[in-house]
Each structure stands twice: as structure tokens, then as C-alpha cells.
Amino acid sequence: MLYVSEDPEKNGWTQINTQGDPARNPRGGIVTMESFNGHIYVGTSPPGGFELWRTEGAEPETNRWKLVVDKGAGDALNEIPLTLGVFRDQLFVGTAIAFAVSSTDPNKKIVPPKPFDLIAVNRFDQWRVVVGGEPVLPTKPITGVRHQGIYPSGFSDISNGYCWQLRSFGGRFYLGTWDWSDLIPPFISSLGNVNQGVLIQMMDWLQNPANLFGLVKEYNLKPLLKLLKGSLAGFFTHMGFDLYVSNNGIYWEPVTLDGLDNPCNYGLRNLFPSRDGRLYIGTANPFQGCEVWRN
């Protein structure tokens, strides 16, 4: 559902009908929104890869939407357009898979843990992959052609499951991640306490040769195995979220790869440019509680 208001406190909200022509209205749940280039852009998550839509005019209207990116920008495992950010006349889309392996497709239970991609969209609605390698589940978008990015998916770290934050501050662009490698030790140590029904379901699924064969047959696992091989050495030395910074949104350098020296900070949950001229970081930390940092 999509709502609009000129003054929420006084006038409340009006729902916009997006249930018209499927080819001219956003499809799938709306995950995120951003104002860019005189339009409202919405990221949605239908089965088969995320989509990015924009209004034809300044305001959202039924049957007056344009499809900008479709089919996960060439990889159906780019299921969720989790984050949108504007920097230097471009709109950036950071992707994710829910909980790293939980598919939004109702016909699938789990999918391989593909790390995030980052896609840049210019003001002419032309897109390109900045962070993203060989697709795991290739698609053929009608809005453009996928080429490999400058960096592999997740900046070469398979455990970078989410591009969780994109924020402009001080003339630079910041990107924060969610890193699921922090969950490996507690998961292993708690296997004995896992809900038995869930564990039995998982084992049944894994022990079925048809499921494993289906994974190999359906997905291009080579890029994931390559990323996994490159990530193994860093799993227990670089736990914690990553924070990257860029001067142009294309070339990036790391600020931290270990949750600001705390591996329990597994996600950079919020980047907040304050009126006091500082950038604040709010972390996701299910082990110790959140932390707040500022520059």
C-alpha cells in the first residue's frame, strides 16, 4: 500500500491505488522509497528479482508509473531493494536477501546466501552494476543489460548479506552492511537447543538429494564458492559490519571491516547526519545491545 499526505498531522493520509495495469504500476511489496530527479522512486520485491519504479510526474498516480530496473538487475537473487540513496545526481540501490537465505518467493523455502549488489541509476533511468559479479540466478531484464561491477558482490565477502545503509554526508557517500558471519559461533554452540521441529525440517530438506540437486541445477554456484573461499580466512577475524566510503559512488574504500572493532556489532543499522555537523552511527548488536558512535 502507498499513502500520500501534504500535512499528516492536520489532514491525515490518502491511499494511492496501485492496482491498475500491472505494466504501469509497482508490483510486489514496496520496501523503500526515495525522492530523486523530480520523481518518487519505489523499490519493490516481487518474485524473480527486485524492481525499481518511478512516478511519471511528481506525484504518484494510478497507471502513471515507469519501470526503471527489473528482474533484480540481472540476478533473481537480488530479491529485496533494501536501501535507496542519492549521491551526485545518481540514485543507488542496495540489495539483500531476507535473513541471508529466506526467499520472498512463496515457492521457495531457502536460497543460497548471495551477498548484496549495488546498482547506480542516473537521471535518464539508465542503470549499471557497481558492486556485483557473475549472477547466481541469471535473468534477462527488459530495462537494461547486466555487466559485472567494479567489485564482486558484497565487496568479495559472502557474509555481507545486506547493503543496510546508504547516506551522503560531507560531500562523501557512505555504505553500511549487515554481516551474518557473527551468527556462526552462536549457531554452532546452540544447535542442541534449536527447536527440534525446525531442526528436523532443515535436516529433512538437506537430506533429500532432489533438493541438493535442484540447488546445483538451478543456481550458478561458482561465484558463491569463489566468494566463500575468499571469505573463510576472514570469517573469524573480520566479524562485524563493514562501512565503506566513496567520493563518487563508484570507487569505494573501507572505513571498518569489523564493526568498529566490535564483532558483536553485526549490522550498521542507521547512519544519521545531524544538524550539529556530525555523522552518527547506530549499530545492530543482538549480543550486547546497540551502540551509538559519532565522528
**Per-residue pLDDT tens digits of the chain, which is 295 residues long:** 899 999 999 999 999 998 889 999 999 899 999 999 999 999 999 999 999 999 999 999 999 999 999 999 999 999 999 999 999 999 999 999 999 999 999 888 889 999 999 999 999 999 999 999 999 999 999 999 999 999 999 999 999 999 999 999 999 999 999 999 888 777 666 655 555 555 555 556 555 656 655 666 789 888 998 888 877 666 666 789 999 999 999 999 999 999 999 999 999 999 999 999 999 999 999 999 999 999 9
How many angstroms separate the CA atoms of 84 and 165, rounded? 8
Residue 155, phi-psi category: left (phi > 0), alpha (psi -120 to 50), beta (remainder): left
Q: Which residues pair with 283 in a beta bridge?
A: 268
The pLDDT value recorded for residue 193 is 57
Residues of the chain by 3-state class (helix, strand, coil), percent to 5: 20, 35, 45
Between CA 267 and CA 278 the distance in angstroms is 20
Which contiguous run of DSSP H or E holds residue 283? strand 279-284
CB neighbours of 85 closer than 8 A, spacing ≥ 6? 34, 91, 92, 94, 165, 166, 167, 168, 173
Cα 173 to Cα 249: distance, rounded to the nearest angstrom: 6
**Would you state the pLDDT for residue 248?**
97
Q: So what's the pLDDT on residue 212?
A: 57
- The secondary structure of residue 230, as a DSSP letter, is H
3-state secondary structure of 69: strand
Q: What is the pTM of this model?
A: 0.90
Adjacent-strand bridge partners of 43: 32, 52
pLDDT, residue 231, reads 73
With both helix axes pointing from N to C terminus, report the angle between 209-218 and 196-207 in degrees, rounded to the nearest 10.
70
> For the chain, how many helices (H) and strands (E)?
5, 17
Give the single-character DSSP code of 98: B
pLDDT of residue 225: 87
C-beta separation of 41 from 53 below 8 A: yes
